């Protein structure tokens, strides 16, 4: 069970890690925020114990230099969404609601959070 949890967490964390020759800080911000948005959208729809910190999300969207719509249309968002869909279609789906708040670091940290 621990291995399965770690494997699912690794997939979530790597979902927005597209290989690039040179990645700027702005690219990293956009990738991390877009991935966290995909997780947040899933959490909002499927995880009653989770919520999105809208204030933190708005701050990070502003830092990204893109709109929420642009981030949702990005490859990074699509990659994270697809990883989540893949996990959700398995017997590990229940773990998603446990792992999503911990799946994002950097600029994506603190966007998906447990409800108080």
In the predicted model, what is the mean pLDDT of the chain? 87
With bands split at pLDDT 50, 70 and 90, how would you rate the model's confidence at 22? confident
Q: Domain total for the chain?
A: 1
CA distances from 108 to 22, 30, 35, 53, 60 (A): 20, 9, 7, 11, 8
pLDDT for the residue 61 = 98
Enclosing domain of residue 22: 2-114
Q: Does 17 score more than 60 pLDDT? A: no
pLDDT for the residue 115 = 94
CA distances from 23 to 13, 28, 52, 65, 67 (A): 17, 7, 27, 15, 20
**Kind and range of the H or E element at 113?**
strand 112-114
Q: Of residues 38 and 13, which shows the higher confidence score?
A: 38
CA distances from 18 to 7, 56, 82, 102 (A): 18, 24, 13, 19
């Amino acid at each position: 069970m621990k291995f399965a949890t770690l494997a699912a967490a690794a997939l979530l964390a790597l979902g927005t890690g597209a290989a690039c020759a040179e990645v700027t800080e702005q690219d990293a911000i956009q990738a991390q925020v877009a991935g966290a948005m995909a997780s947040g959208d899933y959490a909002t729809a499927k995880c009653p114990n989770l919520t999105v910190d809208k204030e933190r999300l708005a701050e990070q969207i502003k830092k990204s230099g893109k709109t929420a719509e642009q981030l949702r249309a990005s490859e990074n968002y699509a990659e994270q969404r697809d990883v989540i869909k893949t996990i959700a279609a398995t017997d590990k789906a229940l773990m998603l609601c446990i792992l999503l708040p911990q799946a994002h670091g950097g600029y994506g940290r603190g966007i998906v959070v447990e409800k108080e």
